[in-house]
Amino acid sequence: MTLVFDATLSDRKWMKAAKAWRLFFDIPADNSEAPVVLTSLIESNVRAHINHAVPAACTVLAPAHVVDVPHKAKKFTLILETCNEAQNAIGTLVTPLMGDRFNIQICGQDDTPPATKHQERRGTIDEKSIKGLHTGFFQNRKFWEFLSERTGEKIDNPVSCKAIYKVMMQVSSCTQINQHDFDANLQEFNAWLAK
């Protein structure tokens, strides 16, 4: 089962007791199929792939718990919640998406979604960039600070820096990083340094 639809991130809340992020996605009023399918998934866990025009803003919620699909003012809202503490960086990663319209793919928790343009480019990072990551950025305290601000995670050594960076880039190995995503992240870091 794979459902693809447009949505807008209207709100995000930190659920302190559950240590989870609750995310609110508004579904356009002209989409009548998505609310029906999503309502049948309430109280189940799914994989939610957020496919934004900016590759660095793309993320995967796996698993994501479908809390509810309430209706208000002729509009449905999908409410998803993260399921474990390893997903705590999600709140920071989705903050720049607030108010933006983007594409979401919802799959069963064990399903792999059809390849997206973003996924098709995985693993295109060049050797020079990988070397720069390991010998430069992961050793750089300013990069640790930048990454900490972006993800909300504490980074105090090269090992934690690498681990958080891979979570942010949604890869299990640096060789899976796409060159475009790396370049976009490098531009953000340089802009942050220039502040």
Tens of pLDDT, residues 15-44: 888 888 899 999 998 888 899 999 999 999
Say if CB 125 and CB 182 are below 8 A apart: yes
Task: Report the distance separating Cα 114 and Cα 119, nearest Å.
Answer: 9
- For tokens 């208000």, the residue is 72
Best-predicted range by mean pLDDT among 65-79, 95-109, 117-131, 177-191? 65-79
pTM over 0.85: no
- Tally of CB atoms within 10 A around 35: 18
Say if CB 61 and CB 82 are below 8 A apart: yes
- pLDDT digit string, tens, across residues 89-125: 777 778 878 888 888 988 876 544 444 444 444 568 8
- pLDDT digit string, tens, across residues 138-160: 999 999 998 888 777 888 898 88
Q: What is the C-alpha R_g of the chain?
A: 17
| pLDDT range class, residue 10, cuts 50, 70, 90 | very high
Task: Report the distance separating Cα 55 and Cα 132, nearest Å.
Answer: 20
Q: Is residue 41 classed exposed, middle or buried when 0-12, 13-18 and 19+ CB atoms within 10 A define those classes?
A: middle
Q: What is the 3-state secondary structure (H, E, C) of the chain?
A: CEEEEEEEEEEEEEECCCCEEEEEEEECCCCCHHHHHHHCCCCCEEEEEEECCCHHHCEEEEEEEEEECCEECCEEEEEEEECCHHHCCHHHHHHHHECCEEEEEEEECCCCCCCCHHHHCCCCCCHHHHHHHHHCHHHCHHHHHHHHHHHCCCCCCHHHHHHHHHHHHCCCCHHHCCHHHHHHHHHHHHHHHHC
Query: Degrees (nearest 5) of the Cα angle 187, 179, 115?
Result: 125
- Tally of CB atoms within 10 A around 99: 9
Name all domains of the chain by residue range, CATH numbers in brackets: 2-118 (2.40.30), 121-194 (no CATH)
Mean pLDDT of the chain: 82
Q: How is residue 120 written in tokens? A: 């098709």
